[in-house]
Amino acid sequence: MSVDRQAAPGGAPSRTIWRATWRAWERAELAFDAVFGADGNPLRHLGALGFLFFWVMLGTGLYLYIVFEGTAEGAYRSIDALSAAALGSIIRSVHRYAADGFVVVTALHLVRELLAGRFTGARWFAWVTGVVLIWFLYASGIGGYWLVGDQLAQWSLTATAEWFDALPLFGLSMVRNFLSSGQMTDRFYALLSFLHVAIPLTLLLGMWLHIQRVTRPNVTPSRALMLGTFATLIALSLIKPVTSLLPPDYGAVPATIPVDWYYLFIHPLMDATSPAALWTMVMLATLVLAALPWLVRVSHEPVAQVDPANCNGCGRCFADCPFGAVVVEPRTDGRRGPGLARVLPELCVSCGICAGACPSSTPFRTVAELVTGIDMPQRSLAEMRSRMERALAGLEGSPRMLVFGCDRAADARVLERPDTGVISLLCTGQLPPSFIDYALRSGADGVLVTGCAEDGCYYRHGNTWTAQRIAGVREPHLRVSVPRERVRVVWAAEDDMANLRAAVEHFRAALTNLPPAESRHAARTKRPRRKEVALG
């Protein structure tokens, strides 16, 4: 079975480079996991770090705004006096370094989602809104430099005005407003102050829109990652505190200007090219990035389908869907139940997590064909049960192991051998826990479940929900009677095949010390299956 691991543009060479780059990124994430753990790995929580940096900027910015004097004469004086005080210097520096950090994690977040192919289909909304947010991020950051009122502010204001002068929108030149001190009025600084409040608030609104099509968005880092980030910001502030340059000299051009390359790189870039060329580059980059979900050709999987006769409206699919693609509505077919699930095709990413959450998704049902309340037509649970039964029937040797893998994680299919059967799922979250019980009752000595790396699920919550279901803290849960020593969960990214192999061998060695499956199930296999329970 061929698995399209991720979206990638271009032909075969482009896809090869794309996948090689993504595998290199995964290796970096695994290296960080070894040092910080999955919860503390910054590469796995870039979006949450972005929110953290924003709140740090907002908190420190409120303090700076209180002491800031928004006048032509007082702006430079108030910021310079703030930097002379120990606490003020730290707060100003933290504000600046948090802003730089926001740029870094935003850029890395964009690259990570791009390499992972998480920008097509139903994810287009988050991608496009994220691209638009980049403009507000830079407008907010560059505007902060203008408020300082030093030579760097003068240089940036002049360069920005020259850039906008290239647009045929204004009848007069904007640059002339920054060539003399008389043009820098109190009213102008009041405008800058207003913009530096309004633009970040608009950015916050955009960040809220950015996560509207995902459920349970990760906007708060773990405590360890949060404390580590705070410590880093404070350490940078103490080692290299942020200071102002000299007051502006409108009669001369500063000989040298230390540039913050995170925000102000566009000014040297314009100097190296031209204002018109810079507009062409940034607009073209914006349009290409925004159009990428439609420029990349990917095969779209069929979305989840609801069977009204087997849906009792319990809402578990609604609760577990990572993208809010399932809603529960009042029934109109006269059947029992509080409601009926309905799939929103424009939001469904075809992960199958909803099928794993459905209480009717159990292989113990005695029906000619297993039909569940919600299922994936391209890889149904009925097909999974048939494949599982065929795999178990063909196992030879001891111990006999069944592996449930994930199309988006380490390729578990290479583990197949005479005593080991492998079934790959759309997502590990597609696996109902009852299938583990069924496999053990049908002759498997052990069941190993694997999927994307911890905190790295391609579909966001698949491995988390699976772990919680197996642990018995989320419905549907694995029965208490299932021997946990015969169940193993191993998370492994696509480039973490070595660790998965090692975990399988370790599990196989542990199973050899347990009684064989025949003695445990000799009596049970003679019993008939349970009668079908009506769910409609």
**R_g of the chain, CA atoms, integer Å:** 29
Q: Are residues 196 and 328 in the same domain?
A: no
The reported pLDDT for the residue numbered 532 is 41
Residue 461 belongs to a domain: yes
Indicate the residue type of 323: F
**Distance of alpha carbon 353 from alpha carbon 376, whole angstroms:** 9
Under 8 Å between Cβ of 145 and 260: yes
The reported pLDDT for the residue numbered 291 is 96
Q: Are residues 63 and 95 in the same domain?
A: yes
Mean pLDDT of 268-281: 96
Residue 428 belongs to a domain: yes
| 333 vs 45 pLDDT, higher one | 45
Q: Are residues 266 and 318 in the same domain?
A: no
Q: Are residues 386 and 464 in the same domain?
A: yes
Q: Are residues 276 and 201 in the same domain?
A: yes
* Three-state SS sequence of 245-261: CCCCCCCCCCCCCCCCC
Share of the chain above pLDDT 70, in %: 90
Q: Given 295, 327, 344, which residue is the final one in a domain?
A: 295
Structural domain span for residue 164: 45-295
The reported pLDDT for the residue numbered 531 is 43
Residue 268 has pLDDT above 70, yes or no: yes
The reported pLDDT for the residue numbered 185 is 81
Residue 35 belongs to a domain: no
The reported pLDDT for the residue numbered 77 is 94
The reported pLDDT for the residue numbered 13 is 59
pLDDT band per the 50, 70, 90 thresholds, residue 472:
very high
Q: How many domains does the chain have?
A: 2
The reported pLDDT for the residue numbered 332 is 86
Convert the pLDDT of each residue in 372-423 to its tens digit: 999 999 999 999 999 999 999 999 999 999 999 999 999 999 999 999 999 9
Q: Are residues 331 and 284 in the same domain?
A: no
| 268 vs 1 pLDDT, higher one | 268
Q: Which long-range contacts (CB under 8 A, 24 or more apart) does 213-217 make?
A: 213/122, 213/123, 213/125, 213/126, 213/323, 213/324, 213/347, 214/126, 214/322, 214/323, 214/324, 214/460, 215/321, 215/322, 215/323, 215/324, 215/461, 216/322, 216/461, 217/47
| Beta pairing, strands 326-329 & 340-343 | antiparallel
Convert the pLDDT of each residue in 134-193 to its tens digit: 999 999 999 999 999 999 998 998 899 889 888 887 555 555 555 555 567 888 889 999
Residue 8 belongs to a domain: no
The reported pLDDT for the residue numbered 219 is 95
Residue 258 has pLDDT above 50, yes or no: yes
Residue 21 belongs to a domain: no
Q: Are residues 273 and 357 in the same domain?
A: no
Residue 120 belongs to a domain: yes
Q: Are residues 291 and 315 in the same domain?
A: no
The reported pLDDT for the residue numbered 8 is 54
Under 8 Å between Cβ of 6 and 22: yes
The reported pLDDT for the residue numbered 328 is 96
Q: Are residues 390 and 284 in the same domain?
A: no
Mean pLDDT of 61-71: 93
Q: Given 273, 295, 317, which residue is the final one in a domain?
A: 295
What are residue 151's phi and psi, to 5 degrees?
A: -65, -30
Convert the pLDDT of each residue in 218-252 to its tens digit: 999 999 999 999 999 999 999 999 999 998 877 66
| 182 vs 453 pLDDT, higher one | 453
Residue (of 292, 289, 300) closest to 122 by Cα position: 300
Q: Where residue 148 sits, what CATH number does that domain have?
A: 1.20.810.10
Residue 25 belongs to a domain: no
Q: Are residues 227 and 135 in the same domain?
A: yes
pLDDT band per the 50, 70, 90 thresholds, residue 523:
very low
pLDDT band per the 50, 70, 90 thresholds, residue 529:
very low
Q: Are residues 179 and 318 in the same domain?
A: no
Residue 236 belongs to a domain: yes
pLDDT band per the 50, 70, 90 thresholds, residue 516:
confident
| 64 vs 175 pLDDT, higher one | 64
Question: What integer best gives the mean pLDDT of the chain?
Answer: 90
Convert the pLDDT of each residue in 94-117 to its tens digit: 999 999 999 999 999 999 999 999
Q: Are residues 319 and 291 in the same domain?
A: no
| 361 vs 187 pLDDT, higher one | 361
Residue 196 has pLDDT above 90, yes or no: yes
The reported pLDDT for the residue numbered 9 is 54
Q: Given 238, 261, 295, which residue is the final one in a domain?
A: 295
